[in-house]
């Protein structure tokens, strides 16, 4: 029988102060990167604009494409190689004059430019300003609705402290993922949003497994007498450790495969999942469980202290 | 002892047979999203205010005619906003007669009355406004569906989205520009007389008589590709519209080789009006106008009975065919604007399918091997359950007519990772029970029972997230949510119920069970 952790008894909860520093550091680095980049880079799904994916027969230079686009006044567009050296993505900001014409204009101009050779337009996406704003709002609603749903569910199944701690953990994961997105200069798009929501689900999943175990153990009171809440939590985390690591590994494999073999279109999506699985697993113990422990100890401390005050008087 | 073994086996067999039934034949069973098979996704905004304005314009014209027939002189009857008409009588003495006529315009309410000055306004009631807006969008959907059907697209989706938007998905369309032109054209066909009292030069200099406007004819030179715009002075009054059309057919243009034209035939009402108009205006020119562009303005030589006419304009055969389609399907009640467009070429779609399948296969192989190595025979059981999970997942997608998109493929790859989580939870629990000295039989029993609550909790939270994704998401994100949701629901059945059954069959049924391979 192969066993990763035959009888784990690590002191996870005892080291939570260090974990707080690490979590804060990672979150902060991400936030600083976002601020330095002047906010997240939004995909045209959110900003509005036109995206054109072109495959050329011969790999062209970016400068040649830019020169060609410059002739119709789109010289400022973002031109990006996309996977294959012959494949490019052109992002053209919203224009005032007939935005739906942009795709056709670009296609005509590039085709007419003999220096670029033959080409095939593989994808055109146009998002008008109205739709872009709607999608932005929907994205925020979706994340908020996800978080509120989770808070309610855990508050109902366990207790309020657990719900809040789980949401803080999830929030931490989202921030770390957004930070990673910003650090690697990737764009926030609809698939990235979907990945974030999946990570929310995954992270909560993990937290619930630990909570469930804690509750089960606390049911057997005789077994637990004389232990502090922190110790009980540590036992629960250790008991679920092999499951946590094994599951994290299988999901991690799946996302790694997506990231490395899923192709360019899925890359950002897989990247967020990849980072999210790591931080989601980490945050179960070091954010959610740690907060529940400190909160419970704080409340217990306040219950005891007034008694002392009475004794003094 | 395992309970109701035959009943549970029977249920699994039924599920497997049902899944196979829905998946046959495999090529046609599952809808591929636009990002996988190529095609167009469009969101159109209906400019409903323009529909209101044209409705109000028509009412103003009607009112003017009615007042004139009663001999009531007016100095102004004109639309002063999208939903209101301002009326100024020539003399306040005709006030009461005018009000009687105006009240016949049922849907309007009278406001800002000033009897002494002979002035009032007619305003569309809010209820009528919302009815007309709704009608405009509904008619728009109908008209576009008509056009797309005649254009010939397999399995198009045309639905209303929100208050004033129309969602159109055309899978597998090869020429997106042409499809867009066909869908987005308002196709308002109008017949108006040229205003021959004024010369074009005067009109261009800004001296336009009241009730007339400048419209242009576009002519593209086939050799130089340059466009010429020829101005016409046209009376604003519409004599006849495309609403009275019966047929529109493509013909080759007898006067210019290689060009095509569209012959139209009016219905009975249209033919009668056309006959009267041509009879009363012999010698004048009648302009044929489509969406504000003059196509031709032939001279009326004599009364034209039978209600037939021809639209010429250097059309290619495709252009003529598309024009005939939009004329037959009718005009859109209001112009539309493209708010969102996503076009995917078929070659990109094929690439995406290949990459997605590679990702799923690689993900499955890694997970299969891992479970087999780590949990041995129990791992093999989990692998069989995973296989059944994928089978049910695809079958459900086929049964519900759900669409498989590229993020949907990613969702499946992720489901594989999450579905084995359930088995890992159970197996780890069984190992734990074995470690504290339980017999294999009771360890299996305890492991499955104790893990159940956690499994339900984890599945529910992710399914809630998937449901939220589905509600707030658009297109491809929805596809991801669907496959994630269905995959998880299936995993509850396969990773728990089905695995338990296999455990019962493989281990528990044995007379002596000294150890389990886990």
**Tens-digit pLDDT string for chain B (518 aa):** 456 888 999 999 999 999 998 888 766 678 888 888 888 988 999 999 888 888 888 888 888 888 888 888 888 888 888 888 888 888 888 888 888 888 877 778 888 888 888 888 889 888 889 988 998 899 999 999 988 888 888 788 899 988 889 999 898 887 778 888 888 888 888 899 998 888 888 888 888 887 788 999 887 766 666 778 889 999 888 888 888 888 888 988 888 778 888 999 999 988 998 999 899 999 999 999 988 889 888 888 888 888 888 888 778 888 888 888 888 888 888 888 888 888 888 788 888 888 888 888 888 888 899 999 999 999 999 999 999 999 999 998 888 888 888 778 878 877 887 788 889 999 999 998 998 889 998 999 999 998 898 888 888 888 887 888 788 766 667 778 888 889 889 999 998 999 999 998 888 777 777 788 88
Residue in A213, A257, A266 closest to B406 by CB: A266
Q: For residues B354 and B350, give the distance between their C-alpha atoms in angstroms, rounded to a whole number.
A: 6
**Cβ B374–A246 below 8 Å, yes or no?**
yes
Contact A209/B454, CB-based, under 8 Å?
A: yes
Helix (H) / strand (E) element for B269: namely: helix B268-280
User: Smallest Cα–Cα separation from B216: which of B156, B291, B158, B277?
Assistant: B291
For B324-355, b/e burial (b = at least 16 CB within 10 A) is: bbbbbbbbbbbbbebbbbbbbbbebbebbbeb
The predicted pLDDT at position B1 comes to: 47
The minimal CB distance from B458 to the residues A55, A208, A258 is found for: A208
pLDDT < 50 regions, chain A = 222, 309-313
How far A158 CA lies from chain B's nearest CA (Å)? 11
* Contact state of B351 with A257 under an 8 Å Cβ cutoff: no
| Whole-prediction pTM | 0.77
* Chain B residues whose beta carbon lies within 8 Å of the beta carbon of residue A146: 464-465, 468
Element (H, E) at B480: helix B475-491
Give the distance, in angstroms, between the CA of residue A21 and the centroid of all CA atoms in the same chain: 20
Residue B111: strand pairing partners: B121
Residues of A in contact with B370 (CB under 8 A): 249-250, 253
> pLDDT value at position A295?
92
CB contact under 8 A, B343 and A123: yes
- Please report, for residues A28, A181, A182, the alpha-carbon distance to residue A36 in angstroms, rounded to integers and kept in the order given: 12, 13, 9
Classified as helix, coil or strand, B402 is coil
Chain A: residue nearest B372 by CA? A2
Q: How far is A229 from chain B (nearest CA, A)?
A: 21
Do residues B419 and B462 touch, judged by C-beta distance below 8 A? no
Mark yes or no for CB contact B359/A146 under 8 Å: no
Residues of chain B neighbouring A243 (CB-CB closer than 8 A): 424-425, 428
B481-485: which pairs have CB atoms within 8 A and are 24 or more residues apart?
B481/A194, B481/B411, B482/B397, B482/B402, B482/B403, B482/B408, B482/B411, B483/B393, B483/B397, B483/B402, B483/B404, B483/B408, B483/B409, B483/B411, B483/B412, B483/B415, B484/A198, B484/B411, B484/B414, B484/B415
pLDDT given at position B215: 92
The CA-atom distances, in angstroms, between A127 and each of A29, A46, B180, B390, B409 are 32, 8, 15, 35, 24
Closest CA to A77 of A59, A57, A54: A54
Taking alpha carbons only, the member of B351, B223, B219 closest to residue B294 is B219
Task: Check A261 against B366: CB less than 8 A apart.
Answer: no
Q: Evaluate whether B495 touches B381 at the Cβ level (below 8 Å).
A: no
Q: Output the pLDDT for position B109.
A: 85
Q: What is the secondary structure of B422-446 as a DSSP string?
A: HHHHHHHHHHHHHHTT--HHHHHHH
DSSP assignment of chain A: ---S-SS----TGGGHHHHHHHHHHHHHHHHHHHHHTTS-EE-HHHH-EEEEEEEESSPPPHHHHHHHHHTTT-TTSEEEEESEEEEEEEEE---SS-GGGHHHHHHHHHHH-GGG--EEEEEEEEE-HHHHHHHHHHHHHHHHHHHHHHHHHHHHHS-HHHHHHHHHHHHHHHHHHHHHHHHTT-EE-HHHHHHHHHHHHHHHHHHHHHHHHHHHHHHSHHHHTT--HHHHHHHHHHHTHHHHHHHHHHHHHHHHHHHHHS-GGGHHHHHHHHHHHHHHHHHIIIIIIHHHHHHHHHHHHHHHHHHHHHHH-
* E strand or H helix at B210: none
- Distances, alpha carbon A298 to alpha carbons A37, B229, B444, in Å: 39, 81, 40
Q: Are B331 and B186 in contact (CB under 8 A)?
A: yes
- By the 8 A CB rule, do A182 and A285 touch? no
B344/A269 Cβ within 8 A: no
Question: What phi and psi values does residue B162 have, to the nearest 5 degrees?
Answer: 65, -150
Structure tokens at B156: 């198009």
Q: Are residues A253 and B417, on separate chains, in Cβ contact within 8 Å?
A: yes
Residues of chain A positioned with their CB less than 8 A from the CB of B180:
100
Q: A150 to chain B, minimum CA–CA distance in Å?
A: 7
Identify any residues that bridge with B31 across adjacent strands, giving them in sequence order.
Answer: B403
Distance CA A99, CA A128 (A): 8
Among B345, B352, B457, the residue with its CB nearest the CB of A120 is B345
Mutate to test the interface with B, among A118, A166, A247, A280 (most CBs of B within 10 A): A247
Cβ contact, residue pair B340, A126, below 8 Å: yes
Tell me if B179 sits within 8 A of B40, measured CB to CB. yes
Q: How many CB atoms lie within 10 A of CB B43?
A: 25
Three-state SS sequence of B176-199: HHHHHHHHHCCCCEEEEEECCCCC
| Cβ atoms within 10 Å of B257's Cβ, excluding its own | 7
Torsion over CA: B464, A279, B491, B412 (sign): positive
**Which two three-digit tokens encode residue B512?**
């002596």
Strand order in the sheet with B119-124: B74-81, B84-89, B119-124, B108-114
Residue whose entry in the numeric block shows the structure tokens 């910003």: A182
Helix spans in B300-345 (H): 317-329
Q: How many contacts does A have with B, using Cβ atoms within 8 A? A: 208
- Residue B187 pLDDT: 86
Helix pair angle (B48-69, B95-103), 10° resolution: 130
Long-range contacts of A32-38 (CB under 8 A, 24+ apart): A33/A179, A33/A182, A33/A183, A34/A178, A34/A179, A34/A182, A37/A182, A37/A185
When scoring B179, B414, B437, B474 by the number of chain A Cβ atoms within 10 A, the one with the most, hence best to mutate, is: B414
Strand partners, B205: none
- Is the Cβ pair A266, B407 closer than 8 Å? yes
Bridge-based pairing of strands B165-171 and B84-89 is: unpaired
Task: Find chain B residues with C-beta within 8 A of A131's C-beta.
Answer: 43, 339-340
What the block records as the tokens of A250 is 């299988």
């Amino acid at each position: 029988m192969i066993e990763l952790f035959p009888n784990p008894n690590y002191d996870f909860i005892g080291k939570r102060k260090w974990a707080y520093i690490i979590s804060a550091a990672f979150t902060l680095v991400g936030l600083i990167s976002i601020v330095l980049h002047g906010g997240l880079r939004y995909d045209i799904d959110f900003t509005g604009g036109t995206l054109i994916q072109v495959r050329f027969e011969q790999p062209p230079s970016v400068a040649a494409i830019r020169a060609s686009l410059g002739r119709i006044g789109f010289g400022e567009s973002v031109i990006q190689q996309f996977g294959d050296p012959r494949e490019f993505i052109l992002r053209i900001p919203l224009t005032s004059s007939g935005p739906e014409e942009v795709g056709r204009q670009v296609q005509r101009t590039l085709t007419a430019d003999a220096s670029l050779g033959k080409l095939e337009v593989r994808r055109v996406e146009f998002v008008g300003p109205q739709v872009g704003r709607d999608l932005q709002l929907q994205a925020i609603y979706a994340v908020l609705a996800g978080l509120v749903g989770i808070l309610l569910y855990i508050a109902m199944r366990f207790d309020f402290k657990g719900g809040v701690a789980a949401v803080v953990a999830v929030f931490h994961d989202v921030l770390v993922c957004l930070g990673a997105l910003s650090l690697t200069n990737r764009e926030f798009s609809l698939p990235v949003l979907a990945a974030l929501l999946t990570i929310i689900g995954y992270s909560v999943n993990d937290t619930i497994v630990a909570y469930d175990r804690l509750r089960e153990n606390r049911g057997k009171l005789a077994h637990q007498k004389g232990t502090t809440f922190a110790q009980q939590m540590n036992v629960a985390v250790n008991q679920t450790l092999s499951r946590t690591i094994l599951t994290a590994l299988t999901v991690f494999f799946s996302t790694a495969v997506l990231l490395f073999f899923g192709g360019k279109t899925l890359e950002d999506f897989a990247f967020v999942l990849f980072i999210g699985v790591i931080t989601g697993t980490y945050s179960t113990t070091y954010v959610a469980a740690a907060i529940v422990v400190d909160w419970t100890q704080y409340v217990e401390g306040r219950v005891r202290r007034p008694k002392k005050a009475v004794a003094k008087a | 002892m395992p309970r109701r073994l035959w009943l549970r086996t029977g249920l699994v067999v039924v599920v497997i047979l049902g899944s196979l039934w829905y998946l046959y034949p495999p090529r046609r069973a599952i809808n591929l999203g636009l990002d996988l098979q190529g095609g167009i996704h469009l969101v159109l905004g209906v400019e409903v205010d323009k529909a209101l304005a044209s409705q109000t314009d028509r009412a103003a014209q009607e009112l003017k005619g009615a007042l004139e027939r009663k001999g009531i002189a007016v100095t102004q009857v004109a639309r002063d906003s999208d939903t209101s008409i301002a009326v100024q009588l020539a003399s306040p003495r005709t006030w009461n007669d005018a009000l009687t006529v105006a009240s016949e315009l049922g849907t309007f309410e009278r406001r800002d009355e000033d009897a002494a000055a002979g002035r009032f306004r007619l305003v569309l009631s809010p209820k009528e406004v919302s009815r007309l807006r709704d009608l405009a969008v509904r008619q728009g959907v109908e008209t576009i569906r008509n056009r797309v059907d005649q254009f010939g697209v397999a399995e198009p989706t045309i639905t209303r989205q929100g208050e004033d938007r129309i969602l159109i998905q055309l899978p597998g369309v090869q020429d997106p520009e042409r499809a867009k032109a066909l869908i987005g054209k308002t196709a308002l066909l109008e017949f108006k007389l040229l205003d021959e009292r004024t010369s074009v030069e005067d009109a261009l200099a800004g001296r336009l008589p009241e009730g007339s406007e400048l419209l242009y004819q576009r002519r593209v030179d086939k050799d130089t590709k340059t466009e010429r715009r020829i101005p016409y002075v046209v009376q604003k009054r519409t004599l006849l519209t495309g609403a009275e059309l019966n047929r529109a057919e493509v013909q080759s243009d007898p006067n210019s080789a290689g060009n095509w034209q569209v012959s139209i035939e009016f219905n009975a009402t249209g033919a009668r009006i056309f006959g009267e108009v041509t009879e009363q205006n012999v010698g004048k020119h009648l302009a044929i106008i489509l969406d504000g562009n003059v196509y031709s303005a032939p001279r009326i030589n004599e009364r034209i009975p039978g209600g037939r006419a021809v639209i010429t304009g250097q059309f290619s055969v495709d252009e003529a065919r598309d024009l005939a389609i939009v004329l037959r399907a009718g005009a859109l009640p209001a112009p539309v604007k493209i708010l969102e467009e996503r076009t995917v070429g078929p070659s990109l779609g094929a690439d995406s399918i290949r990459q997605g399948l590679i990702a799923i296969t690689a993900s499955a192989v890694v997970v299969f091997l891992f479970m087999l190595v780590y949990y041995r025979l129990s791992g093999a059981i989990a692998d069989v359950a995973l296989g059944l999970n994928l089978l049910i997942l695809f079958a459900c997608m086929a049964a519900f007519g759900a669409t498989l998109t590229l993020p949907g493929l990613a969702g499946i790859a992720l489901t594989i990772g999450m579905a084995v989580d359930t088995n890992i939870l159970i197996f780890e629990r069984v190992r734990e029970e074995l470690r504290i000295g339980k017999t294999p039989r009771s360890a299996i029993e305890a492991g499955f029972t104790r893990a159940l609550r956690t499994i339900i909790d984890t599945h529910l939270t992710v399914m809630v997230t998937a449901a939220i994704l589905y509600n707030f998401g658009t297109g491809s994100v929805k596809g991801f949510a669907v496959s994630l949701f269905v995959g998880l629901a299936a995993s509850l059945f396969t990773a728990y119920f089905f695995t338990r059954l296999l455990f019962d069959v493989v281990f528990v049924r044995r007379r002596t069970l000294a150890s389990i391979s886990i």
